[in-house]
Amino acid sequence: MSLAVFENFLSFAERSLVAKAGLPPAIDPAEFENALVSYGVVMLHAHMEQCLRSAIEARCVRCVDLPIRTFALSVRDEKSGKLGIDALKGTLGRFSDVYKTMFKDSIDKSDPERSWVSVMSQRAVVAHGGQPATCSLADLRLYYEDIRKVLGFFCNALGLNAAEVTGISILIVLPASPALAVPVPVVPVP
């Protein structure tokens, strides 16, 4: 699974809602949107977990010591299954306090945490409570954009390079590199 699959689903759902005027009378448009959103939050949550698992794996496979790499990969699933922001900080802290601090600072600066928590909560309501999601498709689109950033902050904190992140998903939004954000002075050549 990848974020591209979710992006395709989200585009399909948005097009379907635009065309809801053509639904048979027996299908309530609000219930139709709710069914799409309920499926979407569960699907997005699964993709979040998969991206985190892949990011941890990408970082662990760099280790040339086979027994240590094997051990690190054996706990990957345990750690990537805990998706709360504090749990992500804890996972990064097991690598390095620097990783944890970098992630925390990124989250604090851009505040995408509400979207992350909303998707986790909505997924729990749908998957464990048997209730429909309570957000709209427009909300889900906004959450998705923030989640792509959180995944980028996580990958960045792990020290993954652009090629490693692209291997996970081309849709993860990496923060701008500080070196690139500072304009380079141009010196005219005489």
Q: Which residues contact 73 (CB under 8 A, 6 or more apart)?
A: 57, 60, 61
Closest CA to 39 of 27, 31, 51: 31
Q: Does a structural domain hold residue 98?
A: yes
Report how far residue 176's alpha carbon sits from residue 77's, in angstroms, rounded to the nearest whole number: 29
Find the DSSP H helices in 61-136. 66-80, 85-95, 97-110, 113-127
Q: What is the 3-state secondary structure (H, E, C) of 132-163?
A: CCCCCHHHHHHHHHHHHHHHHHHHHHCCCCHH
Structure confidence at residue 185 (pLDDT): 45
Q: Does a structural domain hold residue 179?
A: no
Q: Does a structural domain hold residue 183?
A: no
Q: Does a structural domain hold residue 120?
A: yes
**Domain that includes residue 57, residue range:** 3-169
Q: Does a structural domain hold residue 80?
A: yes
Structure confidence at residue 182 (pLDDT): 36
> How is residue 17 written in tokens?
């809602």
Q: What is the pLDDT along the chain (190 residues), one digit of tens a residue?
A: 578 999 999 999 999 888 876 778 888 888 889 999 999 999 999 999 999 999 999 998 888 888 888 888 877 777 667 788 999 999 899 889 999 999 999 999 988 999 999 999 999 999 998 899 999 999 999 999 999 999 999 999 999 999 999 999 999 999 886 543 334 444 555 5
Q: Does a structural domain hold residue 107?
A: yes
Residue 130 φ/ψ region, left for φ over 0, alpha for ψ in the -120 to 50 degree band, beta for the rest: left
pTM: 0.86
Domain count, the chain: 1
The DSSP H or E segment spanning 39 is helix 29-60
Q: Does a structural domain hold residue 99?
A: yes
Structure confidence at residue 52 (pLDDT): 92
Q: Does a structural domain hold residue 158?
A: yes
